[in-house]
Structure 1
Amino acid sequence: MSELKDQIKAASEYISKFWEEQPVAGVILGSGLGGLVEDIEDPIEIPYKDIPHFPVSTVEGHSGKLILGFMNDKPIVAMAGRFHYYEGFSMKQVTFPVRVMNALGIKALFISNAAGGMNPDFSVGDLMIIRDHINLQPEHPLRGPNDNSLGPRFPDMSEPYNKDLIYRAVEIAAMNQIDLHSGVYVGVQGPTFETRAEYKYMHIIGGDAVGMSTVPEVIVAAHCGLKVFAMSVITDIGIREEENTITHEEVLEAAHAAEPKLTLIFSELIGQL
């Protein structure tokens, strides 16, 4: 058994001691989007620091705990706080929780993030379903020897975001009068926000929003054979020519404001699983 497989086993077995349910979905919450956990019923909270081999989040707006419970009567496991490559973690560490959630038995992974908008039709507070991504991160989570029992050497990435879940999300949004965009997410390393020239470049190559997360987790989810649904909250618009300085506090504020709409869509989608 590989070292990674040993670590996944140790972490998943530790978590399973707290809960006998098999979760149908995993949820990863982005910056300022941790409020979704308030809608989880009968929650059991496990600090990351207590879980074998789990990293510990260092970013404001990420609380750093795993939550087991029910959403819309379905058993789920949620990450309140995620890990980023820019924090100094390896990509194996960043994506380790996805491996663990897969070992716990999830069938679908739901991911949220705060992102900078590059599409001129977007406004701060808008929601964007991620239909595809462009990976500009400098490291790949699958680099190195491949354990075929965890997934194939060359995973197909032609449809990393599940079309059926996207279709259902659009229906849910329409029924609840929620405006939605869909677009391409560009994943970058960070931690600096992008220059105006970088925003322009990424828009030219096909990006609608940019952020410092999500892509590694989606790659590993594809490697595991999981269905993925991901959504960005547009927390700033970087492509406009006028003065546009960005602070992390403003990002968190915009994410908090849009969170109820995102939570509703996630909850309804999970209820349909």
Structure 2
Amino acid sequence: MSESIYAQAAESANYIRNLLPEGLKNPGVGIVCGTGLGGLTERLDQELLFELSYKDIPHFPQSTVVGHAGKFVFGFLGEKRTSVAVMSGRVHYYEGHSIQKVTFPMRVMKLLGIHTAIVTNAAGGLNDEFSVGDIVVLNDHINFPGLAGENPLRGPNQEEFGTRFPGLSEAYDLPLRKQIHLSYKKLQLTSEKRRLHEGIYVFVSGPRISFETRAECRLLRALGADVVGMSTVPEIIVARHCGIRVLAMSLVTNISVLEPGPGGDSPIVEEMDEEGLRDFLAAGVANHNEVLEAGATAAKDLQELVRQFVDDIAL
């Protein structure tokens, strides 16, 4: 990049700020909506609302994934009318963006005045106690690409944002996690269909045409991961580098397949024709349409939980 990341983020933030209506220029809470969860924007006060496509913002990366609208929406959320900046859709590393571009929006949010970020995603469940539709509050993560050197803080440190080596042992803010559990109880969402857990998210780079292999899922689970996905962790790292408080939640939209596949010499396989084999192997395999369907079904509860949480943390 010919300009520093800070200079580019400042240009983007100034561009957005100059377009915002007077009442929306100072958002304090930033919300990142994962796959299928962009409907939160419909919960905003529709009387004073401002939308801006990512493609119109200088230096801003563009999303290409189904279920991601690719726009910033600014407005007021909840009974206490908290000013928020909502990212309806995010960009992913697997789309071909650099890890710095993937996390660029978080730096822009910092320069817009965001002090608290709520980051959501659709994820595969690795923990056998989780079900499709459950919500998982993240309390830690495993950054697989980061362990191999693909870290958003790699390269010259952006001193204007934060220190060279930010601590991540408490990346997922404990007071915010405490509050989300209280908000959940207040809404009485507790049910077999919409349970709230805490857990560890493992970030993999993707793309996953068939999602993780069975062996990979068993490996990730053995390492202690509860959910797996292709986003969020780089954003969390940059948010903490910038001094933004973070609450992150995964919506379990599919259950990863951990059981070993059948052997080619298995008696049950020998008795099946080609069509039977296809049906047998398809059982339980995740796909993007499944993610979208599960996200749509559970989205209303997650949106209501976010709304309640924003009201509860409002000053």
Query: TM-score, normalization: structure 2?
Result: 0.84
Asked whether 1:111 is paired with 2:119, we answer: yes
- 2:285 aligned residue: 245
- Whether 2:47 is the aligned partner of 1:29: answer no
Letter matched to residue 160 of structure 2? S
Q: Distance in 2 between matches of 1:94 and 1:123?
A: 29
Distance 2:71 2:105 in 1: 11
Alpha-carbon offset, residue 168 of structure 1: 0.7
Q: Tell me which residue corresponds to 1:171.
A: 182
Identity of aligned residues (%): 46
Question: Aligned residue for 1:8?
Answer: 9
- The offset of 1:269, in angstroms, is 1.6
Q: Is the 8 A contact 2:117 2:244 kept in 1?
A: yes
Which of 173, 194, 200 is the matching residue for 1:162?
173
Amino acid at match of 2:297: A
1:74 matches 2:82: yes
1:188 aligns with 2:204: yes
Please say if 1:209 is aligned against 2:227: yes
Does the 8 A contact of 1:117 with 1:239 survive in 2? no
Instruction: Give, in angstroms, the shift of residue 147 of structure 1.
Output: 2.1
Mind listing any 5+ residue stretches in structure 2 that lack a counterpart? 190-194, 260-280
Instruction: Render the CA deviation track for 1:4-47: whole Å, top value 9, x for unaligned.
Output: 12111110011101223210110100011111111111220001
Aligned CA-pair RMSD:
1.4
Distance 1:55 1:149 in 2: 21
1:130 aligns with one of 109, 116, 138: 138
Partners of 1:111 and 1:229 within 8 A in 2: yes
- 1:231 equivalenced with 2:249 (yes/no): yes
- Alpha-carbon deviations, 1:111-139, whole Å to 9, x = none? 11000000000111111111111101251
How far 1:2 sits from its partner (Å)? 5.7
- Which residue number corresponds to residue 103 of structure 2? 95
- TM-score, normalised with respect to structure 1: 0.97
Q: What one-letter code is carried by the residue in structure 1 that aligns with 2:159?
A: N
Contact 2:215 2:258 in 1 (8 A): no
Deviations 1:182-201 (A, max 9, x none): 10000000111101111111
Shift of 1:240: 4.6
Indicate which of 41, 44, 47 corresponds to 2:50: 44
Correspondence 1:265 to 2:269? no
- 1:37-75, Cα deviation, whole Å (9 max, x unpaired): 111112200011100000110101001111111112010
Q: Which amino acid aligns with 1:177?
A: Q
Letter in 2 for 1:184: I
Number of aligned residue pairs: give it.
Answer: 273
Name the structure where strand makes up a greater proportion of residues: 1
